[in-house]
Amino acid sequence: MDRSTEIREFLRTRRARVTPEQAGLAPHAGVRRVPGLRREEVAQLAGVSVDYYVRLERGRTQGVSQAVLEAVARALQLDETERDHLFDLARPTATGSRRGRPLSPQRVRPVMYRALDSLGAPAIVLGRRMDVLAANRLGHALFTDFQARPHRERNFARYVFLDEAAHALYADYWETAAADCVASLHLYAGRHPGDPQLADLIGELSVRSEAFRRMWADHDVLAHTTGTKRLHHPLVGDLTLDFVVLAVEGDPDQNLTILTPEPASPSAEAITILASWTGTPLTEETRDAAGA
């Protein structure tokens, strides 16, 4: 991914979201030609010259100070994830000699496989570019059997955008799920701009999915930590599952997502049924959640 293009489009889309009134600026007379803030207004709010901000928005970040980036982040009312993304985009590429070279393959430790097997809830390990590195039986049963797919297709974003089963699974919430995937990929792109496999993935999804192209142009970023997924599973019906995303310590760019239903809810009963069909051993916690 081109870092200059990314920072230009990220800053442009962020300032388009903020009105002068939201920024505390006095309204100007006449018709505004751009949505949100003008470049000169961002510069005014950040306390830098217009030329300096224009250079920054054009991707010329060499020598830019942390103080200036902090001031721009405040002016654009960035949240913590967006602020960190701005710093990633503006950071000099320390691995320029490796730019364009594939990153080393990711491995899942044996202890993680054992931990996945011990869980009585759907769980999945994602790596770089949202590649699916591992999942337990319930995780495969909930989404799809990623292990049965060619390695290239073991990617959660590719599944969400290109697999009709994912559209059916997410049903009315597909747009939200898809936008979350794109926002996660943008965040990863800021950290690994020279990853050629990411460029291949973005290129493929852009060609094959109009929805992806539209969402990618928004330049939103998102760090998944916790939330709720509402799904319609073809075997057990409607599911409401809370999820938590845990970083895998010692394994950069890996995280574990665990999805659990509310105890004694219809979703808990449905997960118990799904577990019985997949041959997943029921833990004491799973039985308690289902009210068994």
Asked if 50 and 43 count as a contact pair (C-beta separation under 8 A), the reply is yes
Burial of 30 (0-12, 13-18, 19+ CB in 10 A): exposed
Kindly state the average pLDDT of the residues 241-267.
Answer: 94
pLDDT digits (tens, 9 = 90+) for 176-204: 999 999 999 999 999 998 899 999 999 99
Task: Say which DSSP state 48 is in.
Answer: S
Higher pLDDT, 184 or 63: 184
**Candidate from 36-45, 89-98, 179-188, 233-242 with smallest mean pLDDT:** 89-98
47-63 average pLDDT score: 92
pLDDT at 211 over 60: yes
Measure the CA–CA gap between 223 and 80, rounded to whole angstroms.
10
User: In this model, does residue 290 exceed pLDDT 60?
Assistant: no
Q: Which two tokens stand for residue 196?
A: 């050629």
Q: Is the pLDDT of residue 281 over 60?
A: no
DSSP assignment of 227-251 equals EEEEEEETTTEEEEEEEEEEE-TTS
Residue 100's pLDDT is what? 60
What does the pLDDT look like over 135-167, one tens digit per residue?
A: 999 999 999 999 999 998 999 999 999 999 999
92 vs 4, higher pLDDT: 4
- CA-to-CA distance for 138 and 72, rounded, in angstroms? 45
Q: Which of 146, 150, 171, 132 is nearest to 257 (CA)?
A: 132
Contact 234, 171 (CB under 8 A): no
Confidence of residue 34 (pLDDT cuts 50, 70, 90): confident
Global model pTM greater than 0.85: yes
| Residue 77, SS3 per DSSP | coil
At 104 the pLDDT is 82
- The backbone torsions φ and ψ at residue 118, rounded to the nearest 5 degrees and listed phi first, read -80, -15
Which pLDDT value is given to residue 63? 86
Question: Quick one: pLDDT band at residue 88, thresholds 50, 70, 90?
Answer: very high
pLDDT at 67: 95
Question: What is the predicted pLDDT for the residue at 291?
Answer: 43
Task: Give the pLDDT band of residue 282 (cuts 50, 70, 90).
Answer: very low
pLDDT of residue 105: 86
For the chain, give the mean pLDDT. Answer: 90
- In the block, tokens 């470049």 appear at 39
Tell me which of 250 and 185 has the higher pLDDT: 185
- Higher local confidence (pLDDT), 99 or 129: 129
CATH architecture of 3-97: Orthogonal Bundle (1.10)
pLDDT average, residue stretch 23-40: 82
More confident residue, 199 or 284: 199
Is residue 250's pLDDT more than 50?
A: yes
- So where are the chain's domains? 3-97, 110-290
What pLDDT, on a 0 to 100 scale, did the predictor assign at position 292?
A: 40
How far is residue 249's CA from residue 6's CA, in Å, rounded to a whole number?
Answer: 29
pLDDT at 102 over 80: no
CATH number for 110-290 (one of 3.30.420.10, 1.10.3720.10, 3.30.450.180, 3.40.50.720): it is: 3.30.450.180
Averaged pLDDT, 33-57: 93
